Amino acid sequence: MANFTPVAAIVGGVLVGLAAVLLWLANGRIAGISGIVGGLMTPQRGDLAWRFAFILGLAAGPLLYAGLGGAVPAVEVTPSIPLLVAGGLLVGYGTRLGGGCTSGHGVCGLARLSPRSLAATVTFLVAGLVTVFIARHALGA
């Protein structure tokens, strides 16, 4: 557990939770990234601007933190190009079919005590664990 960073994890996690509360309290929306991004693909009048504003903020957040002197981690992307494409397609399609991702089901759904979100969260966690086990250990990649 050499890379374990519990304090940064809890502090960052609390900020993520507060961001979800802010979007709920101010805009009445669930902070599910896949839903917010996916909603851009079925555009409805008056429903696009807040999505773009949120996404812009999300991309700017780490830059702001770096600008304030925060220790921003390296973004280490090691998979091959075919794996990146396959992973992206699966994440995009899967989160839309399942109605949420780590933020929507994992953070907001669990906080709202939703059994549906608990089922989704357990499913993608197990699928992720099994995938990494097969890729790293069974196939020895």
Partner 1 sequence: MRPLSSAFAAGLLLGVGLAVSQMVNPAKVIGFLDVAGAWDPSLLFVLGGAVVAATIGFGLAGRLTATPLFAEAFRSPTSRAIDLRLIAGSALFGVGWGLVGLCPGPAIAGFGLAPGSLALFVAAMLAGMGVFSLSESLLMQRHPPRSA
CB of 141 to partner 1, least distance (A): 10
Phi and psi angles of residue 6, each rounded to the nearest 5 degrees, phi first: -65, -40
- Residue 76, classed as helix, strand or coil, is coil
Minimum distance of partner 1 from residue 134's CB (angstroms):
8
CB of 17 to partner 1, least distance (A): 3
Measured distance CA(29)–CA(1) in Å, rounded:
37
Site string (115-134) toward partner 1, x via CB under 8 A: xx--xxx-xxxxxxxxxxx-
Based on the shown chain and the rule CB under 8 A, indicate whether residue 139 belongs to the binding site for partner 1. no
Residue selected from 2, 45, 69, 139 as contacting partner 1 according to rule CB under 8 A: 2
Shortest Å distance, C-beta 102 to partner 1: 5
Q: Both tokens of residue 41?
A: 């693909």
Among 60, 69, 139, 140, contact with partner 1 (rule: CB under 8 A): 60
Rg (alpha carbons) of the chain, rounded to whole number: 17
The Cα–Cα gap between 56 and 61 comes to 9
**d(Cα 56, Cα 132) in Å, to the nearest integer?**
31
CB 16 within 8 A of CB 110: no
What string marks each residue from 21 to 50 as x (binds partner 1 by CB under 8 A) or -? xxxxxxxxxxx-xx--xx--xx------xx
To partner 1, the closest distance from the beta carbon of 82 in angstroms equals: 10
Judged by CB under 8 A, does residue 140 bind partner 1? Answer: no
